[in-house]
């Protein structure tokens, strides 16, 4: 029977804490019986370890077999719940959708209660106002276009008249120059001809 503070077999089997092991070591140094018992246990343990592990004669492995794989839906479901980012995104999306739906269903009754009775009348009034505004805008636009066209025609006629006047003046000047040149030539020919040959 051992007088050690802790079971020497627990010491050997690694079930004691560091402090408990230290106490056993201290005791075994001063107790011959426990020292011998501990030595026998150590010899037993080390001898047992002479029986070594064998290598596996054939590797164990699986191939990708659809039979063992979970379904696509299950994989997607597990991947979804296994991802905090996706969960966060989904939460934000659900919150946004809830806000949109809440806003939509909250406003709809208020609009319906006010607008529903006079809807046709308001629609007719709006249509009349729109038609009047369109007609007025078209008339104004046509008037602006007519005025602008008249101005452009007048300006063009003025430019044409001025151009014609300038052309006539230019022609007259050229005719005058030609006439002068002709007269000069005639005078020179008259001077060069002998007096007896004069007709």
Partner 1 sequence: MIFRAVEDTDLIRKARRGDVEAYNLLISRWEKRVYNYLLRIVADREDALDLSQDVFLKAYQNLRKLDDPARFAPWLFRIAHNEAFSSFRRRRPEGETVPQSDFAGERIPAKVSPAFPIELSIAVTTALDKLNADQREAVILKIYQGFKFEEMAEILSCPVSTVKSRLYTALDVLKTQLAPAKSRGVT
Contacting residues toward partner 1, per CB under 8 A: 9, 12-15, 40-41, 43-45, 47-65, 68-70, 75, 78-79, 82
Using the minimum distance from each CB to partner 1, give the nearer residue, 18 or 60. 60
* Core vs surface per residue 34-56: b (16+ CB within 10 A) or e: beebbeeeeeeeeeeeeeeeeee
CB of 88 vs partner 1, minimal distance in Å: 19
Q: Which is nearer to partner 1, 72 or 189 (CB)?
A: 72
Least separation, in Å, of the C-beta of 81 and partner 1? 11
Identify which of residues 58 and 120 has a Cβ nearer to partner 1 in the complex: 58
CB-nearer residue toward partner 1: 12 or 31: 12
Query: 5, 24 in Cβ contact below 8 A?
Result: yes
Q: How far apart are CA 135 and CA 126, in angstroms?
A: 14
Nearest to 43 by CA among 72, 70, 8, 74: 8
């Amino acid at each position: 029977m051992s007088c050690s503070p802790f079971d020497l077999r627990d010491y050997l089997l690694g079930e004691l804490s560091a402090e408990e092991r230290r106490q056993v070591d201290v005791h075994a140094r001063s107790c011959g019986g426990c020292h011998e018992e501990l030595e026998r246990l150590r010899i037993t343990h080390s001898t047992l370890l002479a029986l070594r592990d064998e290598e596996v004669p054939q590797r164990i492995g699986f191939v990708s077999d659809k039979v063992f794989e979970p379904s696509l839906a299950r994989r997607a479901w597990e991947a979804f719940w296994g991802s905090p980012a996706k969960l966060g995104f989904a939460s934000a999306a659900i919150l946004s959708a809830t806000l949109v739906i809440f806003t939509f269903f909250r406003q709809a009754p208020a609009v319906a209660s006010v607008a529903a009775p006079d809807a046709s009348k308001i629609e007719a009034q709006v249509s009349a106002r729109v038609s009047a505004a369109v007609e007025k805008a078209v008339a104004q636009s046509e008037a602006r276009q007519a005025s602008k066209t008249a101005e452009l025609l007048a300006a063009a006629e003025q430019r044409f008249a001025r151009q014609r006047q300038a052309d006539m003046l230019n022609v007259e000047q050229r005719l005058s120059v030609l006439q002068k040149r002709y007269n000069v030539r005639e005078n020179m020919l008259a001077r060069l001809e002998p007096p007896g040959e004069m007709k």
